[in-house]
Amino acid sequence: MEKTYDEWHKWFESEYQTEPIVLRGKGIEDSELQKLIRVWVPANGVAPAGEKTLGQGIFSGKKKKNAADGLIVFRSKGKTPIVFTTNSIIVNNKLKFVDKKSAKSDAKTEKPRSLTLKKPFLSRCRDCKEIGDSKTLVEHCGRRPKQLAPLSKEGREWFETFLKTVKWKYVKVDKLMTIPNISKSNEALAIAEQAGMSLEKIMSKLELQCPEHYELFDRKNTHIRTSNLKGKKSFIEALKSSIKNHQKTLPLLRTAPVGVIELGHIFDEFLSNMCDQVVGEIWQKGSKIRYYSPSLKIAVSGTPDLKYSGIPIEMKTVNTLPYQNIGPKKKVQFRNKMKSNYMTQLSVYSKSVDRQWILLLLISRESGEFTILPMSNETYLPMMESKLLKWSQDSATAKLLHEYHQLKGVVEN
């Protein structure tokens, strides 16, 4: 999206009803102001198709009085900054900064923002979805309800923009990079493709709306979650929290995230609502799954998002799908993400339903493109169970496990 400096200035005044404070980084010549290219940052929401995005900091220095090199920033009190660059700063479709250290420094010092929640605090039953005052809805359908937060103004604006531009499109596996642990079974690949094409037809006809609330994530817990098995640090923290908060009513959260974290929660809520509309003869809502670890002598549970012909489907969002033509660095990052964030949960679910593979639905938060992959537990499951055994043999972890077992009434042999 290109305009002159004057055109962008007038646009900002019209859009925000105020004159922008203009910050100009090094590396932009006066002669280049006739052709400024807008660059989308996370706070601006999802970039329209084909537009350039930037994941680095946009300011230089701790006081943020200057734009990072290669950028022009229009800002105003209480408004999301609008960022621009020029063709001379773009190399191979990426931004080339004169000084990357300033941008990285700004990214590190940027503190997560939050929204103070107002009473009455709301919660929602995990099963029947009834919403009520958190003070009275302490337990419902035998479980502790999830606390809700309303969307912030910028969160709502971002998502409404997303809904106007999104186009749901299924992408076949052969268009993607080589992804470890995909089942090579012809049957599995065929079912995944059938599911993808079926879902594209269904999603293109859905009436999609912006959510009113989303579920807050509380790090405090009274039991071990499936997600806590991803890494030892997370597992230890969950053990300690479960022991500390045993038989306690956890306090309500008073703040909600604003910015990138909120956008992720909004998207998850949207997809959950979408799943409710997808359900039919072949598609069903996911059902609760229980996994028992003999090494840890604990059981964890979770609920896949969907089922296709009885096969569990776990849904994850990514910025963009891992196409074949992404760079080597991004390929390594995606493989690491698959291993650290996805495979433990997928292996737990597949083991629990006695299947060698289940389905992973990956959806792009930027474009709405998605793929469905048949993920095998053949290689990762033995590795995961070996990892859990090593945890149990660590003396410090064993001590915490013993205390946890006593509180939960687990008999140790």
Q: What is the pLDDT of residue 121?
A: 93
Which of 110-124, 196-210, 236-250, 375-389: highest mean pLDDT?
A: 375-389
- Looking at residues 394-402, what average pLDDT do you find? 94
- What's the pLDDT band for 68 if we cut at 50, 70, 90? confident
Q: Give the sheet arrangement for strand 283-285, strand by strand.
A: 169-170, 369-376, 357-364, 311-318, 306-308, 283-285
- Looking at residues 209-230, what average pLDDT do you find? 89
Is residue 375 within 8 A of residue 183, CB to CB? The reply is yes
- What's the pLDDT band for 93 if we cut at 50, 70, 90? very low
Q: Among 122-126, 153-157, 294-298, which is the least confidently predicted range? A: 153-157
Residue 47 pLDDT greater than 70, yes or no: no
Interatomic CA distance for residues 373 and 388, integer angstroms = 26
Residue with tokens 């045993």: 246
Q: H/E/C letters for each residue in 275-309?
A: HHHHCCCCEEECCCEEEEECCCCEEEEECCCEEEC
- What's the pLDDT band for 402 if we cut at 50, 70, 90? very high
Q: What is the pLDDT of residue 89?
A: 53
Q: Give residue-wise pLDDT tens across range 287-339.
A: 889 999 999 999 998 889 999 999 999 999 888 899 998 888 888 989 998 98
Q: What is the pLDDT of residue 29?
A: 67
Average model confidence (pLDDT) for the chain?
Answer: 85
Q: What is the pLDDT of residue 106?
A: 40
Calculated CA dihedral for residues 318, 322, 326, 327, nearest 10 degrees: 80
Tokens of 74: 């229009």
- What's the pLDDT band for 105 if we cut at 50, 70, 90? very low
Domains of the chain: 2-111 (no CATH), 158-408 (3.90.320)
- What's the pLDDT band for 101 if we cut at 50, 70, 90? very low
Vertex 118, ends 112 and 121: CA angle to 5°?
A: 100
DSSP single-letter state for residue 111 = P
- In degrees and rounded to multiples of 5, residue 390 shows phi and psi of -65, -40
Q: Which of 215, 227, 225, 349 is CA-nearest to residue 270? A: 215
Residue type, 363: I
